[in-house]
Chains A and B, each alone.
Chain A
Amino acid sequence: MTLIAWRNIMRHKSRTSFLALCVVIGVSFVAGTFVLTDTMTNVFTRIFDQAYSGVAVSVRSQSDLGADAARPPMPDTVLDTVRAVPGVRLADGGVFTTGGRIIDADGNQVGNQFAPTFLASWPATPEFSAFTLVDGAPPAAADEVVVDLGTATAAGFAVGDDVRVQTTRGLQTFELVGIARYGTASNMGGASAALFDLATAQVEADRVGSFDDISIAASDGIDAVALKADVQAAVGSRFEAVTGTDLSSESADAITSGLSFFSTFLLVFAAVSLFVGAFIVYNTFAIVVAQRTREMALLRALGADGRQVIGSILLESLIIGLLASAAGLVGGIGMALGLKQLLSAIGFDVPTGTVVVLPRTILVSIAGGVLVTMVAAVAPALRAARVPPLAAVRTLGRPTQARRRGTVAVGLALLVAGIAFVVLGVASITMVWLGLGAVLTVVSVSLLAPSIVAPFVSALAAPLLRLRGVSGQLAEENASRSARRTATTASALMIGTALIAASLVLAGSINRSAEQVLDSGLRADLIVSADGAAGIGSSATESLRNIDGVAAVAAYRFGAFRIGADTLSVAAMDGSSLDPASPTVMLDLDVVAGSILAVDGGGLAVSKRVADDHRWEVGDTVAADFASGPQSLQIGAIYTTTAFGDYVISLATHASLFADSTDAVAFVRTADTTQVAAVQALITERLATTAPAANVQDREEYAGALRAQVNQLLTLVTALVLLAVVIALLGVLITMLLAVLERTHELGLLRAIGMDRAGIRSMVRWEAAIISTFGALLGVVLGVGLGYALMRTLRDQGVSTLAMPYRSLAVMVVLVSVAGVVASIYPARRAARLNVLKAIAAE
Chain B
Amino acid sequence: MAAVLIPHKDVPTVEPTGVAASRMVQGVKTYGAADAEVRALDDVTVSFESGAFTAIMGPSGSGKSTLMHCLAGLDDLTSGTVYVGDENVTAMKERARTRLRRERIGFIFQAYNLIPTLTAIENIVLPKRLAHRQVDEEWLDTVVAQVNLGNRLDHTPSELSGGQQQRVAVARALLSRPELVFADEPTGNLDSKAGAEILRFLRRAVDEFGQTIVMVSHDPIAASYADRIVFLADGRVIDEMSHPTADAILDHLKALSA
B residues in contact with A295, CB < 8 Å = 115-116
**Which chain B residues numbered 179 to 196 have a C-beta less than 8 Å away from chain A?**
184
Contact B95 A389 (CB under 8 A): no
Q: Is the interface of B mostly helix, strand, loop or mixed?
A: helix
Q: How far is the CB of B216 from chain A (nearest CB, A)?
A: 10
Q: Are B102 and A302 in contact, CB atoms less than 8 angstroms apart?
A: yes
Minimum CB–CB distance from B91 to chain A (whole Å) comes to 18
Query: Is the pair B98, A305 in contact by a Cβ cutoff of 8 Å?
Result: yes
Bits for A355-393, please: 1 = Cβ < 8 Å to B, else 0: 000000000000000000000000000000000111011
Do B130 and A1 have beta carbons less than 8 Å apart?
yes
- Confirm or deny: A822 has a beta carbon within 8 angstroms of a beta carbon on chain B: no
**In whole angstroms, how far apart are the Cα atoms of A304 and B100 in the complex?**
11
A4 touches B118 (CB 8 A): yes
Q: How far is the CB of B32 from chain A (nearest CB, A)?
A: 16
B110 and chain A: residue at smallest CB distance: A393
Provide the residues of chain A in CB contact with B69, threshold 8 Å.
390, 393
Give the CA-CA distance A97 to B102 in the complex, in Å. Answer: 81
What A residues does B117 contact at CB under 8 A? 4, 7-8, 10-11
Taking the nearest CB of chain A, how far is it from the CB of B72, in angstroms? 8
Contact (Cβ within 8 A) B98 A303: yes
Q: How close is B189's CB to chain A, nearest CB, in angstroms?
A: 12
A-side contacts of B248, CB under 8 Å:
none
Which A residue's beta carbon lies closest to that of B127? Answer: A302
CB interface residues, A 1-35, toward B, < 8 Å = 1, 3-4, 7-8, 10-11
Q: Are A389 and B74 in contact (CB under 8 A)?
A: yes
Chain A residues positioned under 8 Å from B74 (CB to CB): 301, 388-390, 393
Tell me how far the C-beta of B99 lies from the nearest C-beta in chain A, rounded to whole angstroms: 8
A-B contacts, CB under 8 A, total: 67
Contact of A301 with B101 in the complex, beta carbons under 8 Å: yes
Partner of A303, one of B115, B130, B184: B130
Residue count of chain B within 8 Å CB distance of chain A: 26
Contact in complex: B109, A303 (CB < 8 Å): no
B199 beta carbon closer than 8 Å to chain A: no
Q: How far is the CA of A802 from the CA of B232 in the complex (A)?
A: 77
> Measured between C-beta atoms, what is the minimum distance from A15 to chain B in Å?
13
Contact status of A393 and B101, CB under 8 A, knowing A1-B130, A3-B122, A7-B118:
no
Return the contact of A300 from the options B75, B98, B129, B184 (Cβ within 8 A). Answer: B98
A303 adjacent to B103 (CB under 8 Å): yes
Main secondary structure of the interface of A (DSSP, over half): helix
Does B249 lie at the interface of the complex (its beta carbon under 8 Å from any beta carbon of A)?
no
A299 at the interface (CB under 8 A from B): yes
B residues 16-59 touching A (CB-CB < 8 Å): none
Q: CB within 8 A of A299: which of B65, B95, B116, B130?
A: B130
- Flag if B113 contacts A392 (CB, 8 Å): yes
Residues from chain B with a CB closer than 8 A to the CB of A298 are: 113, 115
User: Any chain A CB within 8 A of the CB of B5?
Assistant: no
Which A-chain residue is minimally distant from B133 (CB atoms)? A303
With a cutoff of 8 Å between Cβ atoms, the chain B residues found around residue A304 in the complex are 98, 102, 130
Cα distance, A12 to B114, chains bound together (Å)? 18
Neighbouring A residues of B94 by C-beta, 8 Å: 306
What residue of chain B has the Cβ atom nearest to residue A294's Cβ?
B113
Q: Which residue, A303, A389, A390, A392, has most C-beta atoms of chain B within 10 A? A: A303
In contact, B113 and A3 (Cβ under 8 angstroms): no
A298→B129 CA distance, assembly (Å) = 14
Report A609 CB to chain B, min CB distance, Å. Answer: 64
- Would you call A451 an interface residue if the criterion is a C-beta within 8 Å of the partner chain's C-beta atoms? no
B92 at the interface (CB under 8 A from A): no
**CA separation between A308 and B102, bound complex, in Å?**
12
Separation of A304 and B97 alpha carbons in the complex (Å)? 11
Question: How many Å from the CB of B109 to the closest CB on chain A?
Answer: 6
6 example contacts (A-B, Cβ-Cβ < 8 A) are as follows A3-B118, A302-B102, A302-B127, A305-B98, A390-B69, A390-B74
Given contacts A11-B116, A300-B101, A303-B127, 19 further A-B contacts (CB under 8 A): A1-B130, A3-B118, A4-B115, A7-B117, A7-B118, A295-B116, A300-B98, A301-B107, A302-B101, A302-B102, A302-B126, A302-B130, A303-B103, A303-B130, A305-B95, A305-B102, A306-B94, A389-B101, A390-B74
4 nearest interchain CB pairs?
A: A303-B102, A7-B117, A305-B98, A304-B130
